[in-house]
């Protein structure tokens, strides 16, 4: 038996063969929709049978700039022919420019480059703990970090240690200690969890995997004030919410808040290559010394070349503006469906979470119905589906998404 149910769609032999081989040889750690993609350009992808789909997942926001973005592909191609990996045992001529550009974009003194998002989160945890011991003066071995209910920060053993998702944690004990959970968006709950051992509050400015969940207005500002007052690092995981997805460069920008540590990933690699990083000021980042942390691939010249171009594109501001425009269209399209098949709609930039009336259908059923109409999206929990089209999606593309969801909901 395979993890992917093929009975819900008409599946060609070619598609079925790819799925069967993947399910036979690759672990079943995902439950993909039964579509096998072969090409992607802009906001659209094409499957092995030549069928086109609007990509409304965009690699969980790793593809903010669209598939095969010309500028990014050109930079990657150029760099592929010159130098791809040096390790940090040596300097390379691309990391300098990338570090400078990303520090400028974040307004921070320094960056620490890694590869996957989870590695960047791990990096922020290590830097926060070390800062706690060496700068704040927390007694050895006692550092605590406050995390949020409903969080998603990745899949390492330490990161799932503070997840409240049973599927993500079951069977993986024992877990890393030193984390305390507080209610997301509830400043009193966070204040109560902080004590003299607390080194950081780790949070997503918008909880993406949670279903595009936004904290109440003013929460980010209150959290900034609380962290400053209690001498605790404010650590914003902007891996999914950042880099133009929410209509601003960072989701924290919506409240003009600057965290002590930014965690970035996904779109930093332009959908081409895994590139992640944290950014912080010198008094925080200086706790990192040679040998105390590292990664063979972190800061490699290919990653740095792509990341530099990503930053240049973000500095122009057009992707943020387009994201905000898409958000207006999504809000106008989905908002009126509340009470008519949807129980809630949350939109921030080109990022929407819709909660479907569970008596109508599950999120998975919605995703399958959309796929049949040439739109790819992914359910998150239960009856919630999140939409995050590439920021190059046209008005017609977004209108097509709204129309399809409306038809499915009203016809259900
Ligand atoms: C907010 C957030 N943090 C961390 C991660 C982990 O990133 P990666 O899958 O690249 O390890 C994700 C991935 O979805 C995420 O959304």
Residue 61 shares a structural domain with residue 190: no
Residue 144 shares a structural domain with residue 252: yes
Instruction: State the residue range of the domain holding 396.
Output: 9-68+319-411
Residue 161 shares a structural domain with residue 294: yes
- Residue 1 maps to a domain: no
Closest to 286 in 3D by CA, of 122, 158, 108:
108
Which CATH number do you get for residue 398? 3.90.1150.10
- Residue 212 maps to a domain: yes
Residue 192 shares a structural domain with residue 104: yes
Last residue within a domain, chosen from 263, 295, 316: 316
Choice among 47, 237, 355, 379 that is catalytic: 237
Q: For residues 260 and 257, give the distance between their C-alpha atoms in angstroms, rounded to a whole number.
A: 10
- Strand boundaries in 91-228, DSSP class E: 110-114, 144-148, 179-182, 198-203
Question: Is pLDDT of 268 > 60?
Answer: yes
DSSP bridge pairs for 203: 236
Strand order through the sheet with 352-356: 342-347, 352-356, 384-387, 378-379
Q: What is the number of the ligand 1 atom nearest to the C-alpha of 116? A: 10
For residue 276, report the distance from its CA to the centre of ligand 1, in Å: 10
Choice among 65, 98, 152, 219 that is catalytic: 152
**Which residue owns the Cα nearest ligand 1 atom 16?**
240
What is the best residue among 203, 239, 252 to mutate for testing ligand 1's pocket, by most ligand atoms within 8 Å of CB?
Answer: 239
Last residue within a domain, chosen from 292, 316, 340: 316
Contact 266, 61 (CB under 8 A): yes
Last residue within a domain, chosen from 316, 341, 364: 316
**Which residue owns the Cα nearest ligand 1 atom 4?**
153
Residue written as tokens 């007052």? 229
Contact 127, 289 (CB under 8 A): no
**Would you call 266 a catalytic residue per the annotation?**
yes
**Would you call 186 a catalytic residue per the annotation?**
no
Question: Is pLDDT of 6 > 90?
Answer: no
Pairwise pLDDT comparison (2 vs 389), residue with the higher score: 389
Residue 230 shares a structural domain with residue 149: yes
Q: Tens digits of per-residue pLDDT, 208-231? A: 999 999 999 999 999 999 999 999
The finding on whether 122 has its CB within 6 A of some atom of ligand 1 is no
Residue 24 shares a structural domain with residue 138: no
- The confidence score (pLDDT) of residue 381 equals 83
What is the best residue among 156, 240, 274, 297 to mutate for testing ligand 1's pocket, by most ligand atoms within 8 Å of CB?
Answer: 240
Question: Is pLDDT of 10 > 90?
Answer: no
The finding on whether 121 has its CB within 6 A of some atom of ligand 1 is yes
Residue 214 shares a structural domain with residue 271: yes
- Residue 135 maps to a domain: yes
Long-range contacts of range 182-188, CB-CB < 8 Å, 24 or more positions apart?
Answer: 182/146, 182/147, 182/148, 182/149, 183/148, 183/149, 184/148, 184/149, 184/150, 184/151, 184/210, 184/213, 184/215, 185/214, 185/215, 185/216, 185/219, 187/219, 187/222, 187/223, 187/226
Residue 197 CB neighbours (<10 A)? 16
With a CB cutoff of 8 Å and minimum separation 6, the contacts of 293 are 112, 123, 126, 127
- Residue 3 maps to a domain: no
Which CATH number do you get for residue 161? 3.40.640.10
pTM: 0.97
Three-state DSSP class for residue 164: coil
C-alpha distance from residue 365 to each of 22, 67, 159 (Å):
22, 26, 30
- Residue 285 maps to a domain: yes
Choice among 94, 108, 130, 266 that is catalytic: 266
Q: Tens digits of per-residue pLDDT, 225-261? A: 999 999 999 999 999 999 999 999 999 999 999 999 9
Q: What is the number of the ligand 1 atom nearest to the C-alpha of 274? A: 10
Residue 296 shares a structural domain with residue 327: no
- Give percent of the chain above pLDDT 70: 98
Q: Tens digits of per-residue pLDDT, 114-165? A: 999 999 999 999 999 999 999 999 999 999 999 999 999 999 999 999 999 9
The finding on whether 333 has its CB within 6 A of some atom of ligand 1 is no
Residue 232 shares a structural domain with residue 173: yes
The finding on whether 209 has its CB within 6 A of some atom of ligand 1 is yes
Closest to 56 in 3D by CA, of 344, 396, 397:
397
For residue 174, report the distance from its CA to the centre of ligand 1, in Å: 22
Residue 240 shares a structural domain with residue 303: yes
Residue written as tokens 């009193």? 188
How many structural domains does the chain have? 2
Q: For residues 95 and 33, give the distance between their C-alpha atoms in angstroms, rounded to a whole number.
A: 38
Question: Is pLDDT of 169 > 80?
Answer: yes
């Amino acid at each position: 038996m395979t993890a992917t149910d093929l009975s819900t769609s008409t599946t060609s032999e070619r598609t079925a063969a790819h799925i069967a081989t993947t399910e036979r040889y690759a672990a079943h750690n995902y439950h993909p929709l039964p579509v096998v993609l072969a090409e992607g350009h802009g906001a659209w992808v094409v499957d092995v049978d030549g069928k086109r789909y609007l990509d409304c997942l965009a690699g969980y926001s790793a593809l903010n700039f669209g598939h095969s973005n010309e500028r990014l592909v050109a930079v990657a191609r150029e760099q592929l022919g010159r130098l791809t990996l040096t390790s940090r045992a040596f300097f390379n001529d691309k990391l300098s420019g990338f570090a400078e550009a990303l520090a400028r974009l974040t307004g921070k003194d320094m960056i620490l480059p890694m590869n996957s998002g989870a590695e960047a989160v791990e990096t922020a945890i290590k830097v926060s703990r070390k800062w706690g011991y060496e700068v704040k003066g927390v007694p050895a071995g006692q550092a605590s970090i406050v995390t949020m209910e409903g969080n998603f920060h990745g899949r390492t053993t330490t990161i799932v240690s503070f997840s409240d998702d049973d599927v993500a944690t079951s069977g993986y004990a024992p877990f890393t200690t030193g984390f305390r959970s507080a209610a997301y968006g509830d400043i009193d709950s966070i204040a109560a969890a902080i004590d003299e051992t607390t080194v950081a509050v780790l949070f997503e400015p918008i909880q993406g995997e949670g279903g595009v969940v936004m904290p109440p207005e003013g929460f980010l500002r209150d959290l900034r004030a609380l962290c400053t007052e209690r001498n605790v690092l404010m650590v914003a995981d902007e891996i999914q919410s950042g880099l133009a997805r929410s209509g601003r460069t960072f989701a924290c920008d919506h409240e003009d808040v600057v965290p002590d540590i930014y965690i970035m990933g996904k779109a930093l690699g332009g959908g081409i290559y895994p590139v992640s990083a944290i950014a912080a000021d010198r008094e925080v980042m200086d706790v990192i010394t040679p040998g105390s942390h590292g990664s063979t691939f972190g800061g490699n010249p290919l990653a740095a070349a792509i990341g530099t171009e990503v930053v240049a594109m973000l500095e122009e501001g057009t992707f943020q503006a387009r994201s905000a425009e898409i958000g207006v269209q999504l809000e106008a399209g989905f908002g009126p469906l509340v009470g008519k098949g949807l129980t809630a709609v949350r939109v921030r930039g080109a990022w929407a979470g819709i909660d479907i009336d569970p008596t109508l259908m599950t999120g998975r059923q919605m995703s399958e119905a959309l796929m049949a109409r040439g739109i790819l999206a992914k359910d998150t929990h239960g009856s919630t589906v999140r939409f995050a089209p590439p920021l190059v999606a046209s008005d017609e593309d977004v209108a097509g998404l709204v129309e399809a969801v409306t038809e499915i909901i009203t016809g259900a």
